[in-house]
Chain A
Amino acid sequence: MDSGSLKIALDTMWVLLTAFLVFFMNLGFAMVESGLCRAKNTVNILAKNFIVFAISTLAYWVLGFGLMYGNGNALIGLQGLFFASGADNSPATGEAYAGVYSALSWTGVPFWAKFFFQLVFCGTAATIVSGAVAERIKFKSFLLFSIAICAVIYPVTGHWIWGGGWLASMGFFDFAGSSVVHSVGGWCALAGILLLGPRIGKYKSDGSVKPIYGHNMSTATLGVFVLWFGWFGFNPGSTMAANAEGIAHIAMTTNLAAAMAVLSATVTSWLLQKKPDLSMILNGCLAGLVAITAPCAFVSVGSSAIIGLVAGVLVVLSVFFFDKLKIDDPVGALSVHLANGVFGTLAVGLFADKAVCAKIGTDSASLSNGLFVDGTWKQLGTQALGVVAVAGYVLAAALIIWGLIKAVMGLRVKKDEELAGLDIGEHGNEAYSGFQIFSNM
Chain B
Amino acid sequence: MKLIIAYIQPYRLNDVKQELFKAKVYKMSVTNALGCGQQMGYHESYRGADEEVNLLKKVRLEIAVNDGFVQPTIDAIVKGARSGQIGDGKIFVVPLGECIRIRTGETGGEAIG
Chain A residues close to B by CB (< 8 Å): 200-201, 210, 419-420, 424, 428-430, 433, 436-441
Contacts and interface: CB of A to CB of B under 8 A. Distances in A.
Contacts of B30: 440
Contacts of B9: 419
B10 A441 contact: yes
Contact of B46 (A200, A201, A429, A438): A429
B36 to A, nearest CB: 14
A441 B32 contact: no
Contact of A424 (B10, B44, B59): B44
Contact of B14 (A420, A430, A438, A441): A441
B14 A440 contact: yes
Contacts of A436: 32
Interface of A is mostly: loop
B103 interface: no
Interface of B: 9-11, 13-14, 30, 32, 42-46, 57, 59
Given A438-B32, A439-B57, A201 B11 contact: yes
A43 to B, nearest CB: 10
A211 to B, nearest CB: 12
Contacts of B57: 420, 439
B42 A424 contact: yes
Nearest to A204: B14
Binding site of B, secondary structure by majority: helix, strand, loop or mixed? strand
B11 A419 contact: yes
Nearest to B49: A429
Contacts of A424: 42, 44
A439 B42 CA distance: 17
Nearest to A433: B46
A440 B10 CA distance: 4
Contacts of A433: 46
A428 B59 contact: no
A436 B32 CA distance: 8
A205 to B, nearest CB: 11
Contacts of B32: 436-439
A127 B44 CA distance: 27
A440 B44 contact: no
B45 A429 contact: yes
Given A439-B57, A440-B13, A420 B42 contact: yes
Contacts of A437: 32
Given A436-B32, A438-B32, A439-B57, A428 B14 contact: no
Nearest to B59: A440
7 contacts: A428-B44, A429-B44, A429-B45, A429-B46, A437-B32, A439-B10, A440-B11
Contacts of B14: 201, 210, 440-441
A430 B42 CA distance: 12
What are the nearest 6 A-B pairs in CB distance?
A440-B13, A428-B45, A440-B10, A429-B46, A419-B11, A429-B44
B35 to A, nearest CB: 13
A132 B32 CA distance: 29
A439 B10 CA distance: 6
Nearest to B13: A440
Nearest to B12: A440
A440 B33 CA distance: 11
A438 B9 CA distance: 12
The residue among B9, B43, B44, B45 with the most chain A CB atoms within 10 A of its own CB is B44
A429 B46 CA distance: 6
Nearest to B42: A424
B25 to A, nearest CB: 18
A226 B93 CA distance: 53
Contacts of A429: 44-46
